[in-house]
Structure formats: C-alpha cells, structure tokens
C-alpha cells in the first residue's frame, strides 16, 4: 500500500486550492489544525468558502488575512479568552466578508447530513427565530457564487405528518477537510482520542482530506486496537507529521491549550496593525512549523504537556 505521508509544504501545495469549500476539525480551542492553517497563509491560498462548525482562532487568522470569501457559521471564538473572535467580528462589521448564520445544532447536522450524502436535511430547529427571518447572504448574491446554494433554507411540509412545517437546510459540498489528530499511519488511518467533534463527518464528506498528527505510527501498530480508530484510510489523501500542530489549542492526552499565547492573540487581534504584526512574527517570518516550535521554545512546550490522570497541564496562567 502506497504511503500518503507528505511534508506540510507538499500537502498544502498539492491539496489546497483557491476557492475550496473548506471545513476544519476541532472545536474553538480544541485540536485545531493551526500548523496547516499557517502554511496555507504562507502559500497565499485564498477565496475559501468556510464551513467551520464551531470555529476558533484558526479561522480567525484566515479571515483576518482576507482569505475567506464567504463564511457559513454558528460560532467563532477562542473559548475562555475571546468570546467572539475579533477579526471575524471586524470582517462582518465592515462588510469585508459574506456571512451566513445558522444555529450550532443545525450547522453540525448539516455537516453530518453531508457525510451521509443527503442533498438537504429537514429540521424543526430555528423556526420562529431571526435565523430564518433574516439572511446574511441574499439570494441575489448567492446566485453569483457557484459553491453556495441559492437558498439559505426552504420551508417544507412533513410528508409523514401533513401540516407540520419543517426547515430544509442545504448540505455543504465540501472540497477540503483539514483535521489534526493524535495518531495517523502512512496509509491514512486516523485515531482521534477524546471528543471527535465533527471531524469524522467532514472527513467522510470531503473530496480531499489533509490530516496532521502528533504521532506518525506504522500501519501495523495503528490497527492493533480497531476500537480506537476514527477515520479509515480511504477517506484521507495526505498525512502530515506535525507535533504540536494544534498549538495554541489543546490536543487531548498530549498537551493543554496555551492560555498566555491565546491572550497575546486576543490583544493583537483587536486592531489591523497589531494583527498584521502578529501574523508577520508568528506565521510569515517563522517560515515553517519547525521554526515556529523553535521560536516557542522547549520549556514552554514541555510545560504544556498534560499530567497523566488529570488531563491538563499544571502550569497555566
């Protein structure tokens, strides 16, 4: 079986295309694929249609750098530090980005329905709220963008209970999913420890999948316990060995989130000038994930390692 292992630079160059409808795994400050996002920024990839589910600073950085054309979202924040991501908010307030809002439960159901191959998904949720009364992206604008459905939703009757109104929401046609996991093997088999969030759904739904991982283990080792396997090899196109590839978010059983770093980003993302300086220092000038880790320093990374039995690091601020 051929290997799907790529360097970070190779994987982004080959599988990330301008205009991709993009979904990323994790949840706000949990297992977010920051290493891949930074490389996307370095390579200048742009014009994404975002399907983030619950997004975090990974999406905020893409938005702040002007790489997201339209954003289909329910919630974007570095939970516990920034309640609403600042570049995300700034882009909406200043009209820099097309934005459509669904409730979090519906956004997750849309991704799940996509993994099942459904053309749409009927829900009772959102009825009676401004999530159906108001559209962030008008029908006229939607009709000009091939990868957006022309309708935010369509009312329909329940065929099994006539007279009951339902909301039919579209299922996203995901071009690319990016996921950070604890373990993966050269053939693309993936083991996610702890909460999988929506990662399995987007891996199944997407046409292309990049997985970065803390540990690259052999095909034989990863198959020793099928009960801990999350994503089959047939769903994955590229595996990238990227230790601490979720920093500054946490990676369950490996390291805690870097709260001081998240606080620095919170302050830097308040203004265009400070944000530009932040990404220049931590993304462009580092030039690679390895140089990024060198800049963070061994002591800082060691102090983020989780304590066995506790699940979090002892050194937090």
Tell the burial category of 225 from Cβ atoms under 10 Å away from its Cβ (0-12, 13-18, 19+): exposed
Residue 130 tokens, joined: 């401004």
d(CA 292, CA 310): 28
d(CA 215, CA 47): 31
Section 59-63 average pLDDT: 98
pLDDT at 98: 98
Question: Would you list the domain boundaries of the chain?
Answer: 1-115+173-317
d(CA 196, CA 214): 15
The percent of residues above 70 in pLDDT, for the chain, comes to: 99
Residue 85 tokens, joined: 């991501």
Q: For 157-182, what is each residue's pLDDT tens digit?
A: 999 999 999 999 999 999 999 999 99
pLDDT at 48: 98
Section 19-44 average pLDDT: 98
248 cis-preceded (ω within 30 degrees of 0): yes
Q: Please tell me which residue, 53 or 151, carries the higher pLDDT value.
A: 151
Which CATH number does 1-115+173-317 carry? 3.40.1080.10
What confidence tier does 312 reach under pLDDT thresholds 50, 70, 90?
A: confident
What confidence tier does 15 reach under pLDDT thresholds 50, 70, 90?
A: very high
pLDDT at 188: 98
Q: Find the DSSP H helices in 134-246.
A: 139-142, 199-205, 219-222
pLDDT at 1: 59
Contact 52, 24 (CB under 8 A): yes
Give the chain's end-to-end CA distance (angstroms, integer).
46
CB-based contacts of 304, cutoff 8 Å, min separation 6: 247, 255, 256, 257, 258, 313, 315
Q: Which residues pair with 166 in a beta bridge?
A: 156
What angle do the packed helices 34-42 and 8-15 form, to 10 degrees?
70
C-alpha closest to that of 248 among 271, 282, 276: 282
C-alpha closest to that of 240 among 101, 49, 37: 37
Instruction: Supply the pTM of this predicted model.
Output: 0.97
d(CA 20, CA 12): 12
Q: How many residues does the chain have?
A: 317
């Amino acid at each position: 079986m051929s290997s799907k292992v790529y360097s970070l630079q190779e994987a982004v160059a080959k599988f990330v295309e301008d205009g991709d409808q993009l979904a990323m795994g994790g949840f706000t400050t949990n297992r977010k694929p920051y290493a891949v996002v930074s490389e996307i920024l370095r390579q200048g990839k742009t014009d994404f249609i975002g399907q983030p589910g619950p997004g975090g600073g990974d999406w905020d950085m893409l938005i702040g750098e002007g790489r997201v054309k339209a954003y289909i979202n329910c919630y974007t924040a570095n939970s516990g530090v920034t309640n609403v991501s600042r570049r995300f908010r700034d882009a909406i307030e200043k009209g820099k980005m097309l934005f459509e809002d669904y409730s979090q439960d519906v956004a997750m159901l849309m991704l799940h329905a996509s993994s099942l191959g459904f053309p749409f998904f009927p829900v009772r949720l959102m009825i009676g709220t401004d999530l159906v009364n108001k559209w962030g992206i008008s029908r006229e604008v939607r009709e000009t963008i091939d990868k957006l459905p022309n309708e935010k939703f369509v009312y329909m009757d329940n065929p099994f209970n006539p007279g009951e109104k339902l909301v039919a929401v579209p299922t996203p046609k995901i071009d690319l999913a990016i996921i950070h996991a604890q373990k993966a093997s050269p053939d693309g088999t993936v083991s996610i420890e702890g909460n999988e969030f929506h990662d399995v759904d987007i891996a199944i739904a997407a046409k292309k999948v990049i997985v970065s991982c803390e540990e690259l283990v052999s095909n034989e080792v990863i198959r020793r316990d099928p009960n801990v396997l999350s994503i089959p090899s047939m769903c994955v196109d590229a595996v990238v060995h990227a230790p601490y590839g979720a920093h500054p978010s946490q990676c369950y059983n490996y390291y805690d989130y870097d709260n001081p770093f998240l606080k620095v980003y919170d302050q830097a993302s308040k203004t265009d000038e400070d944000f530009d300086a932040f990404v220049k220092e931590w993304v462009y000038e580092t030039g690679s994930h390895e140089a990024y880790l060198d800049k963070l320093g061994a002591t800082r990374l060691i102090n983020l390692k989780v304590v066995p039995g506790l699940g979090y690091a002892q050194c937090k601020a």
